[in-house]
Amino acid sequence: MDQLVPETRVLAVASHVVYGHVGNTMATFVMQSLGCEVAALNTVHFSNHSGYRQLKGTRATAQEISDLYQGLCQSNLTDFDVMLSGYAPSAAAVESVGAIGIDLQQKAESKPGSFFWVLDPVMGDQGRLYVNDDVIPAYKKIVPFADLILPNQFEAEVLSGIQITSLATLAEAITAIHRIYSVPHVIITSMQLNKLSQSGSTPPPPENFLTVIGSTIKSNGSPRIFRVDVPALDCFFSGTGDMFAALMVGRLSEAVSDTGSDLRATKSWVSPDSVAAVDLPLAKATIKVLSSMHSVLERTLESRDAELAIEVPASSEQLSEEEAAKRDYLRRTKAAEVRLVRNTSVLRDPKIQFEVQDWRKEDLPKHLQ
């Protein structure tokens, strides 16, 4: 029997690529594999992801995004339990996506907990913005309507206005995001704690580990922070943020239902203050999500290595050094595409490999200790 999450109808708004797995082309299949019914509204239609350093295709305009949603509205096709929103190609497109989320929230107002918006504020990474400047204020306007946001370190810094240099400033950034945007759940999806310039009182994980930090707000506005350390694999994979978000949709829906309480009918699925950080549905979901991801990526790495071990047939044309390097780069990028379709068992039935840790009081900013 298949291990499926509770029935969950998801509107997924993100990019589509013909080849490979990023954006909706990652998230749709991942959520479907868990048993979610997914409606995919695509914000771009590209041949491949940008990791190839070249692509062709089209971007949806803000109007086209709104029109598609209007199409759903006019035929009463908006009975979504969850919206997952990712990359949008312009500030106006971010506003259109935001208007969809806000409309769905409003439609669900009389039934608390019946709609939940997971927002990935895609703006940049590693200190670099890869969208136009005007996308930042557009996100800042819509984040207050989201239930869970999934920034990376850079995006968390942009949204909080706090530079993350220590465990205390990390906790401060999360607290600020809760406070400024009233967003009840936050996960910073991949931190390298050992690269922080100032240490905290908690020892950082070994060098090749990534850390995921999450928090669900308490009724007084303070955070409930937990942490999960995961060994990093020695390869750059595209679409892992989208895989995280998609698995989170299914697993959070499951964890909330598993509480057996009326959490599912509580606004934004915020657990009572009595629930400790490590016992949050968000924490339980994170463990399952990361376990699935780690297995899929381990298998991807094996397949990549096997693919790259095959000798390349000599080209009939004479390639310049530059052309040969480009061909090799494209081949390596392709080989690292995440392997999904033959690894659905580990998506559906993860072997739990990681544990959730509480956040030490000493690593909270002073005013929260």
User: Interface residues with its own copies (CB under 8 A)?
Assistant: 2, 4, 7, 11, 16, 18-20, 25, 28-29, 32, 35-42, 45-48, 52, 54-58, 60, 64, 67-72, 74-77, 327, 330-331, 333-334, 340-342, 344-345
Residue 15 near residue 60 (C-beta atoms within 8 A): no
Please report how close the Cβ of residue 115 comes to its own copies at its closest, in angstroms.
Answer: 16
Residue 212 near residue 189 (C-beta atoms within 8 A): yes
Please report how close the Cβ of residue 50 comes to its own copies at its closest, in angstroms.
Answer: 11
Please report how close the Cβ of residue 322 comes to its own copies at its closest, in angstroms.
Answer: 15
Q: Is 117 helix (H, G, I), strand (E, B) or coil?
A: strand
> Which amino acid appears at position 90 of this protein?
S
Q: Residue for token digits 């699925």?
A: 269
Residues in the chain: 369
Question: With respect to its own copies, which residue has the nearer C-beta, 25 or 211?
Answer: 25
Distance between CA atoms of 275 and 291, rounded to whole angstroms?
Answer: 23
Question: With respect to its own copies, which residue has the nearer C-beta, 7 or 273?
Answer: 7
Distance between CA atoms of 133 and 138, rounded to whole angstroms?
Answer: 9
Residue 24 near residue 51 (C-beta atoms within 8 A): no
Residues 6 or more apart whose Cβ sits within 8 Å of residue 302: none
User: Other C-beta atoms within 10 Å of 140: how many?
Assistant: 14
Please report how close the Cβ of residue 69 comes to its own copies at its closest, in angstroms.
Answer: 8
Please report how close the Cβ of residue 284 comes to its own copies at its closest, in angstroms.
Answer: 23
Question: What's 256's DSSP letter?
Answer: H
User: CA-CA distances (angstroms) from residue 293 to 132, 166, 207, 352?
Assistant: 30, 27, 20, 11
185: phi then psi, degrees, rounded to nearest 5: -130, 135
Residue 107 near residue 142 (C-beta atoms within 8 A): no
Residue 239 near residue 338 (C-beta atoms within 8 A): yes
Please report how close the Cβ of residue 70 comes to its own copies at its closest, in angstroms.
Answer: 6
Question: With respect to its own copies, which residue has the nearer C-beta, 36 or 108?
Answer: 36
Please report how close the Cβ of residue 89 comes to its own copies at its closest, in angstroms.
Answer: 14
Please report how close the Cβ of residue 71 comes to its own copies at its closest, in angstroms.
Answer: 3
178: phi then psi, degrees, rounded to nearest 5: -55, -45
Question: With respect to its own copies, which residue has the nearer C-beta, 210 or 336?
Answer: 336
Residue 30 near residue 10 (C-beta atoms within 8 A): no
Question: With respect to its own copies, which residue has the nearer C-beta, 133 or 322?
Answer: 322
Please report how close the Cβ of residue 249 comes to its own copies at its closest, in angstroms.
Answer: 13
Question: With respect to its own copies, which residue has the nearer C-beta, 57 or 272?
Answer: 57
Which of 69, 59, 45 shows the shortest CA–CA distance to 132?
59
Question: With respect to its own copies, which residue has the nearer C-beta, 79 or 358?
Answer: 79
Question: With respect to its own copies, which residue has the nearer C-beta, 64 or 298?
Answer: 64
Distance between CA atoms of 351 and 343, rounded to whole angstroms?
Answer: 13
Question: With respect to its own copies, which residue has the nearer C-beta, 19 or 130?
Answer: 19
Please report how close the Cβ of residue 56 comes to its own copies at its closest, in angstroms.
Answer: 3
Angle CA(230)–CA(233)–CA(239) in degrees, nearest 5? 90
Question: With respect to its own copies, which residue has the nearer C-beta, 20 or 113?
Answer: 20
